[in-house]
Amino acid sequence: MWGGRFTSSPDAVMEDINVSVDFDRHLYRQDIAASKAHAEMLAKQGIIGADDAKKIAHGLDTILSEIDKGSFEFKRALEDIHMNVESRLADLVGAPAGRLHTARSRNDQVATDFRLWMRDTIDTLDTALAGFQRALAHKAFDHAATVMPGLTHLQTAQPVTFGHHLLAYVEMTARDRSRFADARKRLNESPLGSGALAGTSFDLDRDMTAKALGFDRPTANSLDAVSDRDFAMETLAAASIAAVHLSRLAEEIVIWTSPLVALVRLSDKFTTGSSMMPQKRNPDAAELVRAKTGRIIGALNALLIVMKGLPLAYAKDMQEDKEGAMDALAALSLSIAAMTGMVVDMEPDASRMKKAAGEGYATATDLADWLVRALKIPFRESHHLAGKIVAKASETGIALHRLPLQAMKAIEPRITDDVFSVLTVDRSVKSRVSYGGTAPKNVRSQARKWLKRLAKESK
C-alpha cells in the first residue's frame, strides 16, 4: 500500500503495534457507506467514470454482504478496515478499485467512519436509555404511595416514596440523553474530502457527500477535520456521567437487597449463588454495572491523555481513539440493559420499607414545620424544640408519634393533640405537595407525564 517509497516489509513487532483491524473492523458498515458516497460524488464531478463508479458500488455491496455473512477474510497484514475493504474490492472489480481513493486519505476516511459509527452508537444508546426511563416510570407509578426511608449521609432523613426515588433516576437519565444529543449534534459534520490535512486539488462536492451520509454540513477546516477527536471525548464524557448514574442505582440495589436491609428483592434472573454457601443470593448484575463504570471512565481518561500533547495534524497516536471507545460504549450498552432488567424485576417489600421509614425519627422535620405553622414559632426555635422532643422520645425508646402529649407539653406547653396529625410517615409524604415533592399525587402525575412523553418519542 505504500507504493514505491518502501522496499521491504515491516518487522513483525511493527506489524503488531501498527495493526488496527482487530477492532476497527467494527467500522465496516460506515466505511463502505462513506466509500459509496465518495465514489458517487467523484463520478458526478467527472473525476472518475460513471461505469467505474457503478462497478465500485457493486463491489462494495458484495463486500458488505460478505462481512455480514461472516465469509469475509480480514487480513492483519493490511492493517485496518480501510485497506482490507479496498484490497477485496480490487479482487472483485479490478482496476476501478484503484480509483476509489482519489481525493481521499485514510486520515479523512477514518475520521468520517468514526463519526458515523459514533453517531449510530449514540442513537442506539438513546433508545436504550429511553427504555430504562420507561421501566423506572412504570415502577414509580405502581409505587407512587409506597413509603420508604429517604436518606442523607446514609442516615434516616425524611420519609419519601419508592416511586419518588425512582423518578430521580428518570430525571438524571433525561439529562444523560440530552448530553448525548448535544454530542451528536456537534459531531454531525463530514470530514470526507479533507484529504490528509490540507484538502485536495480536485473539484469535490463535499456538500453532496455530507448530505448522502446524513451529516448537517462538511467540516470547515481540513486540519481540524482530520486531527481532532473531541467528538469522541465528548461522547465518552456523556457515557461516563451516564455510567455514574447507573452505578449509583446499582449500589442502592446492592444495599437494598442485603438481608441486613431487605427493602427490595431481585429474582433468580438477576442474582447468582455461591459455589460454597448454598444460602447466598448475590446481586452480581448490579455489582458488575457498578464495576463497569470504571472502564468507561477509564476510556475517557485514556483518550484525553492521548490527545493532550498532539500537534496538528494527524498522528498515529490517534489510532488509540477507537478500541477504548468501542469497549466503553459496549459496556455502557450492556449496563443499561442490565439495569433496565433489574428495575423491571425488582420488588420492594412495602411493609418493611414503611417500618424503616418510621425509624430514626424521620418525621422530626414535620414536627418542626407544625410548630411553625400552628404556633407561629420561628423555624430556628422550632428546630430546637423539635430536637428536644426527639431527644425525649429517644430517652424513652419510643417512636415520635407514640410520645405522650404531656411529654411534649413539658417542652412546649402550647402543643396540642393536633400535632399527631403530622407525625406518621404516611401523613409526612402526603404533605410534601410542593412541585417536585414526594407526595403520592405528585409522583403519579410525574410518572404519567414521563410515560406519555416517552410514548410520544417512540412514535
Contacting residues for 17 by C-beta, under 8 A, at least 6 apart: none
Q: Which amino acid is at 308?
A: K
- Lookup: cell for 220: 470547515
- Beta carbons within 10 angstroms of residue 396's beta carbon: 10
Peptide bond into 313 cis (omega under 30): yes
Measured in whole angstroms, how far is the alpha carbon of residue 23 from the centre of its chain?
A: 22
Q: How many CA atoms lie within 13 A of 331 on its CB side?
A: 26
58 is catalytic: no
Tell me what percent of the chain is helix, strand and coil, each rounded to the nearest 5: 70, 5, 25
**Contact in structure between 425 and 363 (CB atoms under 8 Å):** yes
Burial 267-282 (b: 16+ CB within 10 A, else e): eeebbeeeeeeeeebe
d(CA 85, CA 367): 72
The answer to whether 20 and 319 are in contact (CB under 8 A) is yes
For residue 57 the three cell numbers come to 458500488
From the list 65, 274, 351, 394, the catalytic residue is 274
Q: What is the 3-state secondary structure (H, E, C) of 114-129?
A: HHHHHHHHHHHHHHHH
Instruction: Give CA angle at 373 (368, 379), nearest 5°.
Output: 45
Whole-number CA gyration radius for the chain: 30
Within 8 A by CB and 6+ apart from 348, the residues are 143, 146, 148, 162, 263, 264
Active-site choice (153, 201, 275, 434): 153
What is the CA angle 155-158-160, rounded to 5? 115
Is 153 considered catalytic here?
yes
Phi then psi dihedrals of residue 323, to 5 deg:
-60, -50
Q: Which residues are catalytic?
A: 153, 274
